Copies of this chain bind each other. A is one copy, B any other.
């Protein structure tokens, strides 16, 4: 099914209003889910929307709460997300970090008691669209064994770094496992293997067979010991800065909520005045792209370049959505 952006956004907004979202919150939340989808991140967009609504009806995500400021020290603020909807809490936190950056050059907001923010890249694009360099990261439930461990004892803790540019913002959005569960489920359904080792099989050997990794749940950290170390440090950073739940404590909850997140912004126009910012960005990106492609006729990409291509295409032509996913949303609309 090919769906136009406006149809998608209106459908999701209507469903959110049916789930007691106020109009402005429903508009913003539907926009975040829809933009993730046209950007090509269905797994954290439309495909996850029904599950997101269930976290509300299950009572894990709280409606009608407002984030509360717990600490303010110049450029740094700590907020309590009161277990509100993750995308709204994350958007609020990045907005506050942007405000602090506009006032003081830089800003850092740590939020405890948030919920799953869905696609972290959303808040990187948000910072860049506001003319800010943005960095954010979150912890997760325990879903990855650290290097040298057999069971999940850390999270795949996504990290986002965004830089604004007139020729298209540069946004890195990565988790710290080499592949996501979503990617492995998808390839397993299609009967395909991973392009590189993505975890360990029952015998404790690295493997490219998704089914074998899904059986052990021994995901490989990005770059072996390196992504493993970084995931532990991200959990420390978000927990200490927000004074919130660590991955360990999130693992004790009935579902993945109550997460800890950090949002950092720098105002690009104060750091480099006039055309200086753009010329430095172009110096770096044009150098990256000037290298000979590894594949003949290939293009050397950079973080965000492929997202912009997908977005442009899908905004013009509509975006393909799995029939079952779309039918399910239509049924929910009618049942309400």
Chain A residues in contact with chain B, CB under 8 A? 73-76, 78, 104-106, 108, 133, 135, 142, 145-154, 159, 161, 163, 170, 172, 174, 178, 196, 200, 204, 222-224, 226-227, 229-230, 232-233, 235-237, 239-241, 243, 246-249, 251, 266, 268, 270-272, 276-277, 280-281, 283-284, 287-295, 298-303
Contact = CB atoms under 8 A, between A and B. Distances in A.
Contact of A76 (B229, B251, B266): B266
A177 B106 CA distance: 29
Looking at A151, A227, A247, A271, which has the most chain B CB atoms within 10 Å of its CB?
A271
Nearest to A178: B223
Copy total for this chain: 2
B229 A226 contact: no
B161 A233 contact: yes
A153 to B, nearest CB: 4
A74 B281 contact: no
A324 B196 CA distance: 41
Contacts of A281: 236, 240
Given A246-B284, A284-B247, A287-B248, A300 B153 contact: yes
Nearest to A146: B288
Given A222-B223, A293-B148, A288 B153 contact: yes
Contacts of A145: 291, 294
A76 B268 CA distance: 13
A205 to B, nearest CB: 11
5 contacts: A76-B105, A76-B266, A222-B227, A223-B226, A236-B284
A138 to B, nearest CB: 15
A78 to B, nearest CB: 8
A277 B229 contact: no
Nearest to A266: B241
Contact of A223 (B163, B223, B284, B301): B223
A71 B145 CA distance: 43
